[in-house]
Amino acid sequence: MRASIASFLSSALLLTQQVAAAPTNTSITNETTVEDIGGGASARTLGGASIFEWTYKRWNGANYACKCAPGDLCWPNQLQWKLLNATVGGNLQVSIPPAASCYNTFQGLLGNISTYDAAKCAEAQANFPSEQWQIELPTAGLWTYFTNDTCRPTTNPTDSCTGGYFPTLYIKAKTIAHIQAGVLFAKNQNLRLVIRNTGHDFLGRSVGWGALVINTHGFKDISLTNSYRGACDYTGSAITVGAGVQAFEALKKLNSLSPPKIMVTGECATVGVAGGLVQGGGHGPLTNFYGFLADTALEFKVVTADGVLRTANAKVNPDLFWALKGGGPSAFGVIVQATYKTFNDYFSSGTTFALGPANVNGNETLWWDAIAKFHSYSNQFVDNGLYVYYEIYPGMTFRVQPVVGVNKTAAQLEAILQPLFDDWTAMGITFDKATTTYPTFYDLYNALFEIEAAGNSALTGGWTFGKTDVANNNAGIIDSFKNVLNNGAFLVGHMWNGGHGLPQSEWANSAINPRFRNVSDKLITILPLAGNAPLAEKEAAQRVLTDIVDGGLRAAGPNGAAYINEADPFQPNWQTAFWGTNYPKLLQIRQKWDPSGVFYSVSTPGTEKWEQIEYGTRLCKKL
């Protein structure tokens, strides 16, 4: 999400202040009613290790067993929290939203806390859109819709600041033992557990109402080797990263080598490389060459749901290894360390261009025709190894920045693009383009991929088109793009094919949906909406996104797939859309490694019965 889009979003949303007064009753204290429908809460032993209890609820005519939340009888008592805090070296803290310092009182689930601090508020005001500022806050969510947009920066300290969907407490883990203690505490006390690395998540998976968070962002170790020796035949260069390492840190270190090395990361330099990215797959500008980040993984160290630290590689726990490679974030364990293949870096060229009203004489029909022509080349672009990042949003704004040609001179790259440019010229379109060659891909990455912004609120979804879809139905795809814009959303496109460079013999080594091996365009749809909009408005917008906006893309691309990390949390037929024929095996692996559901993130294997009832708050299992 670029600064350009961020400004579009903020003008669309007027998100500078808390708009609706938060209902006071969201701050649950001792009055919480625990509706006992049988089973009930049993006697507790003070400070005892393992008491597995549920809070039973009825919601929309169904019965649920819910994880323990503040105010419930089964929520741990003071002594139990004290013991946990001692076990994690005093690193247990109450979660406070990023801009709570602008409010007199933070009314969280654990009670009121005085929070006003003029200096900290000024810092929050100035830095709210900064990704890295939000990343360093232990429980912030960069996309705020799923925090319920509570406690945004305000100039009125008497405004109401409630907990929204922010978690309740967090462990700022400094050692693996802290992570193990957190997993075991959440398991034994039956608490909702959230793993939080950078907080980039589009689907709300790094926050969660009532949850205990394990923050893994402090694990910043990086080590490099030129001759990996491990459980597989690979003996080339590799990087080992701690759970908190971000792409820009790993890439900088690799670039400092002689000769410089590179690894697969996302296009966004602040996303973590050992957390959600690899567990969702992880596509980026090098995906045409080496597949997904997951395809380059050699080994993980992971804390599983029983609190045990395990190795997962091709020989040891190979089922877990396979599932961690694209099977879904926070579903099989907490990754504490990951090792990936690295590659020689090559000179690379990048081209940028854009089409606005001035390029088409203000003729919107012509503008769409130009986009249709561009899109009809998707298959040729990826067949030539190109990666293309582009945005389409209202006001006839079409930006392509950049087209990436790794190991290509400017002349080679422009030769691949020339047929498109010739077509545009023949259509009467005038345009500027710029192509630059850089000594390495790393230099191109830093120069051409723009800084992205935090603090946006929107629903996201998306779909990926198969090469067959582009070949057979490009006009239908463009109609589905028009439908996206006509319904108030916009598009971010990424052209790549996860099967282009990776040998077919390796495709099944990770849990990535096999369909991603023959695609050419992965779209994100973004529907701006304030997280504090009225509930009815939220429900209506969600239906528009799922059924109309994404529904149109799905209908236009029957050979496509959905990408779990850039998706609609309410994706229909999510099992097939995200994992295709790999789903049954993933489900078995989930049941083996996390039979009781210690981990949760929406629409990941084995979560069929889990729901966030009571308007996106309590995490419960349908009975």
Ligand X SMILES: Cc1cc2nc3c(=O)[nH]c(=O)nc-3n(C[C@H](O)[C@H](O)[C@H](O)COP(=O)(O)OP(=O)(O)OC[C@H]3O[C@@H](n4cnc5c(N)ncnc54)[C@H](O)[C@@H]3O)c2cc1C
Residue 195: which of 331, 393, 362 has the closest Cα?
A: 331
Choose among ligand X, ligand NAG, none what residue 280 binds, the Cβ cut-off being 5 to 8 Å by kind. Answer: ligand X
Q: How far is the CB of 10 from ligand NAG (least distance, A)?
A: 18
The CB density around residue 475, as the number of other CB atoms within 10 Å, is: 12
Instruction: Return the bridge partners of 186, or none.
Output: none
Match 């029957």 to its residue by tokens. 558
Q: Which of 129, 275, 385, 405 binds ligand X (CB under 6 A)?
A: 275
Question: In the structure encoding, which two tokens stand for residue 6, read together?
Answer: 């961020």
Cβ–Cβ under 8 Å, residues 183 and 173: no
192 binds, options ligand X, ligand NAG, none, Cβ within 5 to 8 A by partner type: none
Output 137 or 429, the one with its CB closest to ligand X: 137
Q: Which is nearer to ligand NAG, 309 or 533 (CB)?
A: 533
Q: Which is nearest to 280 in space by CA: 522, 452, 442?
A: 522
Indicate whether 1 belongs to the interface with ligand X (CB under 6 A). Answer: yes
Give the interface segment with ligand NAG, choosing from 23-31, 175-183, 297-305, 387-395 (CB under 6 A): 23-31
The tokens for 292 are 């997904």
DSSP state, residue 439: S
The DSSP call for residue 272 is B
The answer to whether 571 contacts ligand NAG (rule: CB under 6 A) is no
Distance CA 98, CA 118 (A): 14
Contacting residue, 283, 399, 408, 554, with ligand X by CB under 6 A: 283
Backbone φ, ψ for residue 327 (5° rounding) = -80, -5
> What string of DSSP letters covers 158-169?
TS-EE-TT--SE
Instruction: Quote the longest CA-to-CA distance of the chain.
Output: 79
State the minimum distance, in angstroms, from the CB of residue 500 to ligand X: 16
Angle at 333 between CA 81 and CA 280, to 5 degrees: 125
- The answer to the question of residue 168 lying near ligand NAG (CB under 6 A) is no
Work out whether 468 is an interface residue with ligand NAG (CB under 6 A).
Answer: yes
What does the alpha-carbon distance between residue 557 and residue 569 come to, in Å, rounded to a whole number?
A: 19
Residues of this chain, 534-553, that bind ligand X according to CB under 6 A:
none
CB closer to ligand X, 121 vs 286: 286
H/E element, 472: helix 467-486
Using CB under 6 A as the binding rule, whether residue 532 contacts ligand NAG is answered as: yes
Residue from 16, 45, 112, 425 binding ligand NAG (CB under 6 A): 112
Q: How far is the CB of 240 from ligand X (least distance, A)?
A: 14
Q: What does 483-510 look like in DSSP terms, one character per residue?
A: HHHHTT-EEEEEE--TTSSS-GGGGGGS
- Partner touching 342 among ligand NAG, ligand X, none, CB below 5 to 8 Å by kind: none
Which residues in the 169-198 window bind ligand NAG by CB under 6 A?
169
> Which among ligand X, ligand NAG, none contacts residue 164 (Cβ within 5 to 8 A by kind)?
ligand NAG
Of these, 92, 416, 512, 613, which contacts ligand NAG (CB under 6 A)? 92
Strand partners, 422: none
Interacting positions 167-186 with ligand X (CB under 6 A): none
Q: Write down the least CB distance from residue 152 to ligand X, Å.
A: 18
Helix (H) or strand (E) holding 614: helix 613-616
515 forms part of the interface with ligand NAG (CB under 6 A): no
Q: Comparing C-alpha atoms, which of 523, 538, 531 is closest to residue 457?
A: 531
Give me the least distance between CB of 480 and ligand NAG, in Å please.
18
> What residues have CB less than 8 Å from 384, skipping those under 6 apart?
405, 416
Single out the residue of 13, 271, 417, 562 in contact with ligand X (rule: CB under 6 A): 271
Task: Point out which residues bind ligand X (CB under 6 A).
Answer: 1, 142, 194-202, 205-206, 216, 243, 266-268, 271-272, 275-277, 279-280, 282-284, 329-330, 334-335, 452, 565-566, 601
List contacts with ligand NAG (CB under 6 A). 23, 25-26, 29-30, 85, 90, 92-94, 105, 107, 112, 148, 150, 162, 164, 169, 363, 365-366, 369, 407, 467-468, 471, 518, 532-535, 538, 615, 617
